[in-house]
Amino acid sequence: MLNLLGPKQQGRRINWEVILLALPALIFVVAVFILPFLFGLNLSLHTNLKGVGGFTLSNYLQFFNDPSQNDSIWITFQVALPVTLFSIIISIPLAYYMRRGIRFERFITTLLILPLTLGNVMVAQSMLMYFGRQGWFNQGLQAMGLIKDPLALVHNWAGVEIALFIQNFPFVFLMILGYMSGISPDLERASRMLGVGAWRTFWRVIWPLVLPGVAIAFCLNFVANFTVFPTAVLVGRPENQTKVLSIIAFRAAYEQNNPPLGTAIAFIMGAIEFLVVASVLWLRSRTAKVSVLGGGKGS
């Protein structure tokens, strides 16, 4: 039989086999992500538990008009941002040093991965026993005569920062290390052969290549720290210093028995995370363009 379809029409034919193979994954995404998202959005725009009646923004307005609730936005940034930046700053030189492999690398990597397997609750419980006022850390410092009174390292902002660093630093470091290790050593050798020093080689060669990985690591770590809940309760002070958005959403939904308000606060938290992630990715793209233009001019 003659093929009456032209080349363009043949290219537009629907590949039903691919669609059928992707259908289970599509159903899973719709059932697990899209439908709950739409249900939560609909619930946040109502004032009754069943989500019926007219749409209203009263839940969002109630949150922003209540200083005892909206101040949690700044508190959450105070908790999430410093530990995120500190993890990135520590990971970059450490990954640069380990990018070509060092002695006992497997042992060090195992130690770094271990906190990821413990979970938030176990890390927090261990901190209470180790960094508490009667914990081993304070007892050791007092025995050496370095301090007289125990240091307050738990049930405050510092305790949450330490716990978040222990939990999330390995993830950030391993991600940046993966990007660092993927850079060809020939690029560094070529730069050094041209008489460029190690510091300038890092900023002109290594940094532009590893910047996408740093940006992604920052975004993922920031989101994880911004949504902190059990750590802020167990080793923090949830009534003031660590009264983060997730705690406000939980109290609104389950202590005040107002799920629409709690859902609205959760959407506000998600919107803030989206704005931060979008801003970081935009800055990364702008920085990459500037680096390319600067390199093209021979600067």
- Identify the structural domains of the chain with CATH numbers, from first to last: 73-117+155-296 (1.10.3720.10)
Q: Which residues contact 195 (CB under 8 A, 6 or more apart)?
A: none
pLDDT at res. 1 = 45
Summarised one tens digit per residue, pLDDT across range 242-251 is 999 999 999 9
* Low-confidence residues of the chain: pLDDT under 70: 1-12, 50-51, 288-299
Residue pair 217/172 in contact by the 8 Å Cβ criterion: yes
Q: What predicted TM-score, i.e. pTM, was given to this entire model?
A: 0.84
pLDDT at res. 146 = 87
Task: Specify the residue for token string 């946040």.
Answer: 44
pLDDT at res. 288 = 65
pLDDT at res. 296 = 38
